[in-house]
């Protein structure tokens, strides 16, 4: 059966998408050549109602769809959207935000070294490639890859799987000569209340998909492949708005209700690659990181009971942007640049001195910038009786010491948002470039 799959190519190739084609910003990513943004398509379909979502008789995805009894039924664009496994960069960095996410860190098992780690990355890559294409996980009926059937009937649903290495991985695999300086431990921040057991880890996997069952299915398949080689150190589960839930494509909101992602660097920016991806460095120890990126992962609890007591006007002054539409308090619309010097009739800055968006802006940090691509989380009510909820903050940059660290240092000293946050866990991971056809992720490190 011939199927039309919606493919998400290398998102960094996207240009000209109104509002910027970054995760979490209006427009999402553009499909190369068509000028049609995937998220725009989804948003439009959503606005058109359920009937608008169907691509037509040929619109389903291969793989699971082919095993369904109702051969003529088509998947919606949500199900049929496919992200590419192979490419210059790994998927899940510039891919538009997905509705569901799992972050999992693994530690290598006792006795597992470089050889076992290489075999695991080879297996993981093979599984990720199959699942991202909407096919069942490969493997014999009783083997570790035996498909659980959880994602039967669904298409790829924009599934992405992203792999990274933590600092401790290098000593465990005898690869300390290849350890990049960018993986140096982060400095301590005064607001940190970090749980070591939910921080760091030898290996890190990020799973994102627009369908919860597809995401869980991938997670299980990856966990099973790891059995005997690596054990789960921690896992965090997150979510974002479902594609099509809004009448038009919009930047995501976080659990404080703010539009979050507006100020992100855009793939069309001339310095986007330099800020987000590691350049070539032939002959250097970190040569294997070309095309890769560093992920800083922070579990940031939101003290929602306190936050929600603030009147909206105060909430807006904490951020420096309007809650309803994300426009800067200095005026305009969401995409209008902040005027950080504008004063009101009382002579006071309209975007206050301690406003989060002012303190974190590249303008106030010597150009330091990062690509924020978070998931929200909610794990019920904590022991203190307040929501155990917040942001799985993930930011991507070519070097955390030129991105996250200087900005967080500054936020730590005087951000009006800090009293409403608690940083509970932290990790930094080297995420190598994408695997070329026939290669597995991390091969250039593990076979160097
Ligand atoms: C739960 C914690 C956080 C929340 C709720 C939050 C929320 C926001 C919001 C609402 C904005 C304005 C809209 C936008 O440009 O996206 C913003 C901007 C920004 N935030 Fe955060 N943020 C959090 C943590 C952090 C952390 C830990 C960092 C980095 C260390 C950070 C860095 C930035 C940057 C770089 C901008 C863009 C500034 C600009 O270019 O205008 N944020 N954040």
DSSP-assigned states of every residue in 163-174: EEE-HHHHHHTT
**Helix crossing, 212-226 with 114-132: angle to 10°?**
160
What are the φ/ψ torsions at residue 51 (nearest 5 degrees)?
-65, -30
Tell me what pLDDT residue 338 has: 98
Does the C-beta of 257 come closer than 6 Å to ligand 1?
Answer: no
Least confident of 10-19, 149-158, 391-400, 423-432: 10-19
Average pLDDT over residues 103-124: 98
User: Which position has the token pair 């936050």?
Assistant: 307
C-beta separation of 71 from 61 below 8 A: no
The model's pLDDT over 15-32, given as tens digits with 9 standing for 90+, comes to: 333 333 456 554 443 333
Q: Which domain holds residue 127?
A: 5-301+428-446
Tell me what pLDDT residue 341 has: 97
The model's pLDDT over 406-443, given as tens digits with 9 standing for 90+, comes to: 999 999 999 999 999 999 999 999 999 999 999 999 99
Per-residue confidence at 147, pLDDT binned at 50, 70, 90? confident
What are the φ/ψ torsions at residue 343 (nearest 5 degrees)?
-110, 150
Residue 288 in tokens: 């294997």
Q: Whose CA is nearest to atom 42 of ligand 1?
A: 360
* Whole-number percent of the chain with pLDDT over 70: 81
CA dist., res. 319 & res. 200, Å (int): 29
Domain-embedded: residue 408: no
Per-residue confidence at 62, pLDDT binned at 50, 70, 90? very low
> SS3 of 281, please?
coil
Tell me what pLDDT residue 24 has: 55
DSSP 8-state assignment for residue 132? H
Residue 116: pLDDT over 70: yes
In 86-159, at which residue ranges do the beta strands (DSSP E only) sit? 100-108
Domain-embedded: residue 391: no
The model's pLDDT over 311-356, given as tens digits with 9 standing for 90+, comes to: 999 999 999 999 999 999 999 999 999 999 999 999 999 999 999 9
Domain-embedded: residue 262: yes
Ligand 1 centroid to Cα of residue 269, in Å, is 19
Domain-embedded: residue 307: no
Domain-embedded: residue 174: yes
Tell me what pLDDT residue 28 has: 40
Does the C-beta of 357 come closer than 6 Å to ligand 1?
Answer: yes
Residue 35: pLDDT over 70: no
**Residue 110: Cβ within 10 Å count:** 7
Q: Which of 147, 202, 210, 260 is catalytic?
A: 260
Per-residue confidence at 50, pLDDT binned at 50, 70, 90? very low
Ligand 1 centroid to Cα of residue 441, in Å, is 30
Does the C-beta of 318 come closer than 6 Å to ligand 1?
Answer: no
Pocket residue to mutate for ligand 1, from 25, 187, 260, most atoms within 8 A of Cβ: 260
Per-residue confidence at 191, pLDDT binned at 50, 70, 90? confident
Tell me what pLDDT residue 172 has: 98
Parallel, antiparallel, or unpaired: how do β-strands 371-372 and 387-397 relate? antiparallel
Q: Which of 2-11, 42-51, 169-178, 362-371 shows the highest mean pLDDT?
A: 169-178
DSSP 8-state assignment for residue 219? H
Residue 155 in tokens: 């298409």
User: Which position has the token pair 């014999």?
Assistant: 140
Tell me what pLDDT residue 132 has: 97
Q: Whose CA is nearest to atom 17 of ligand 1?
A: 357
Per-residue confidence at 139, pLDDT binned at 50, 70, 90? low
CA dist., res. 86 & res. 440, Å (int): 9
Does the C-beta of 319 come closer than 6 Å to ligand 1?
Answer: yes
Of residues 10, 27, 57, 277, the one with CA closest to residue 160: 10
CA dist., res. 9 & res. 84, Å (int): 6
Number of domains in the chain: 1
More confident residue, 165 or 8: 165
Domain-embedded: residue 320: no
Ligand 1 centroid to Cα of residue 90, in Å, is 24
Residue 194 in tokens: 């970090």
Q: Is 135 left (phi over 0), alpha (psi -120 to 50) or beta?
A: beta
Average pLDDT over residues 373-381: 98
Per-residue confidence at 6, pLDDT binned at 50, 70, 90? low
Burial per residue of 283-317, b for 16 or more beta-carbon CB atoms within 10 angstroms, e otherwise: eeebbbbbbbbbbbbbbbbbbbeebeeeeeeebbb
Tell me what pLDDT residue 5 has: 62
Q: Whose CA is nearest to atom 24 of ligand 1?
A: 393
More confident residue, 62 or 393: 393
Domain-embedded: residue 377: no
The model's pLDDT over 241-279, given as tens digits with 9 standing for 90+, comes to: 999 999 999 999 999 999 999 999 999 999 999 999 999
Burial class (CB in 10 A: 0-12, 13-18, 19+), 396: buried
Shortest-distance atom of ligand 1 to CA 254: 5
Ligand 1 centroid to Cα of residue 214, in Å, is 29
Residue 199: pLDDT over 80: yes
Per-residue confidence at 33, pLDDT binned at 50, 70, 90? very low
pTM higher than 0.85? yes
Does the C-beta of 411 come closer than 6 Å to ligand 1?
Answer: yes
CA dist., res. 444 & res. 86, Å (int): 14
Domain-embedded: residue 338: no
């Amino acid at each position: 059966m011939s199927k039309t799959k919606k493919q998400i190519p290398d998102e960094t190739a996207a240009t000209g998408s109104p509002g910027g084609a970054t995760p979490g910003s209006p427009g999402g990513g553009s499909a190369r050549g068509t000028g049609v943004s995937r998220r725009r398509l989804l948003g439009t379909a959503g606005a058109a109602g359920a009937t608008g979502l169907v691509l037509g008789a040929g619109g389903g995805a291969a793989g699971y769809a082919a095993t369904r009894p109702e051969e003529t039924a088509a998947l919606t664009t949500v199900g049929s959207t496919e992200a590419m496994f192979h490419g210059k960069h790994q998927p899940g960095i510039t891919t538009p935000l997905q509705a569901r996410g799992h972050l999992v860190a693994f530690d290598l098992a006792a006795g597992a070294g470089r050889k076992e780690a290489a075999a695991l990355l080879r297996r993981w890559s093979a599984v990720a490639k199959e699942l991202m294409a909407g096919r069942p996980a490969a493997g014999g009926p009783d083997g570790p890859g035996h498909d659980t059937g959880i994602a039967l009937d669904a298409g790829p649903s924009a599934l992405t799987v992203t792999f990274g290495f933590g600092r401790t991985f290098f000593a465990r695999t005898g690869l300390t000569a290849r350890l990049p300086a960018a993986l140096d431990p982060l400095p301590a921040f005064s607001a940190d209340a970090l749980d070591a057991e939910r921080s760091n880890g030898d290996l890190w996997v990020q799973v994102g998909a627009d369908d919860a069952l597809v995401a869980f299915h991938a997670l299980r398949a990856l966990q099973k492949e790891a059995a005997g080689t690596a054990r789960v150190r921690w896992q965090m589960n997150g979510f974002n708005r479902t594609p099509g839930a809004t009448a038009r494509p919009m930047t995501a909101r976080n659990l404080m209700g703010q539009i979050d992602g507006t100020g992100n660097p855009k793939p069309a920016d001339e310095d986007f690659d330099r800020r987000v991806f590691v350049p070539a460095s032939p002959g250097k120890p970190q040569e294997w990181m070309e095309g890769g990126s560093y992920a800083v992962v922070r579990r940031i609890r939101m003290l929602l009971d306190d936050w929600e007591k603030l009147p909206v006007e105060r909430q807006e002054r904490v951020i420096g942007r309007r809650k309803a539409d994300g426009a800067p308090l200095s005026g305009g619309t969401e995409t209008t640049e902040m005027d950080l010097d504008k004063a009101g009739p009382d002579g006071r800055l309209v975007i206050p001195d301690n406003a989060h968006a002012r303190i974190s802006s590249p303008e106030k940090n010597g150009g330091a910038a990062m690509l924020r691509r978070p998931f929200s989380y909610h794990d019920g009510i904590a022991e203190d009786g307040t929501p155990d909820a917040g942001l799985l903050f993930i930011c991507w940059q070519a070097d955390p010491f030129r991105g996250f660290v200087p900005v967080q240092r500054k936020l730590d000293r005087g951000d009006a948002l800090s009293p409403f946050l608690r940083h509970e866990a932290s990790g930094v991971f080297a995420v190598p470039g994408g695997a070329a056809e026939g290669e597995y992720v991390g091969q250039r490190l593990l076979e160097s």
